[in-house]
């Protein structure tokens, strides 16, 4: 029977799968995501298409190395005011981003792809809309001080699974997708491919 492989080093994605009782291996795809994003942006690809392309590339890359297994590739992109936002490289950049997002709405596009024998066999893209509240700079500075550089691992520099939820007024969309994996559609796909009990 095939195994399940997560083509990601994301602790959040791994935690979601573990919490759901899924046995899996982790094997990073080693994809230059920034180069792929820049190429796709030059072609005027939509954020949804960029998330899907990155998830597909990751899944295929690992699936070529592990053709007998089913590989999960995933990606999450943030769209704000018609542009793609990349991960912040410093807490100062994170602060500037959060101030820019403050009081406004942005979208997250979360893609997941299953691949086997080097080819995609299933894909799903979920979109969530998140509206930040008009928080004070005093609150923001305290938040950044309490959570530090760990916030830099997420594209929006917030973690809604913990204190980051206090940055928001409204969230419309799938909670799991916001964390980086559209879990319910993915679990259904794994069942369809006989990797989980029905």
Q: Which residues are catalytic?
A: 75
Compute φ and ψ for 9, nearest 5 degrees. -105, 10
124's CB contacts (< 8 A; 6+ apart) are 111, 112, 113, 182, 185, 186, 189
Half-sphere exposure of 47 (CA within 13 A, CB side): 19
Tell me whether strands 83-85 and 105-116 are parallel, antiparallel or unpaired: unpaired
**Main-chain dihedrals φ then ψ at residue 108, nearest 5 degrees:** -115, 135
- What is the bridge-based pairing of β-strands 4-6 and 119-132? unpaired
Three-state SS string across 105-133, please?
A: EEEEEEEEEEEECCEEEEEEEEEEEEEEC
DSSP 3-state assignment of 73?
strand
How is residue 7 written in tokens?
Answer: 């083509």
């Amino acid at each position: 029977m095939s195994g399940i492989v997560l083509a990601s080093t994301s602790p959040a994605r791994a935690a979601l799968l573990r919490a759901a009782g899924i046995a899996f291996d982790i094997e990073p795809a080693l994809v230059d995501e920034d180069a792929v994003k820049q190429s796709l942006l030059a072609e005027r690809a939509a954020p949804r298409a960029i998330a899907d392309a990155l998830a597909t590339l990751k899944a295929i890359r690992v699936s070529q190395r592990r053709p007998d297994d089913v590989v999960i590739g995933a990606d999450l992109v943030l769209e704000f005011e018609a542009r793609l936002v990349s991960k912040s490289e410093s807490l100062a950049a994170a602060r500037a981003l959060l101030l820019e997002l403050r009081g406004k709405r942005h979208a997250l596009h979360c893609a997941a792809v299953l691949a086997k024998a080097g080819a995609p066999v299933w894909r799903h893209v979920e979109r969530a809309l998140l509206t930040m509240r008009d928080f004070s700079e005093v609150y923001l500075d305290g938040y950044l001080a309490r959570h530090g550089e760990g916030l830099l691992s997420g594209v929006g520099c917030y973690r809604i699974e913990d204190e980051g939820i206090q940055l928001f007024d409204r969230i419309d969309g799938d909670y799991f997708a916001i964390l980086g994996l559209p879990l319910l559609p993915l679990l259904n796909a794994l069942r369809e491919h006989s990797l989980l009990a029905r």
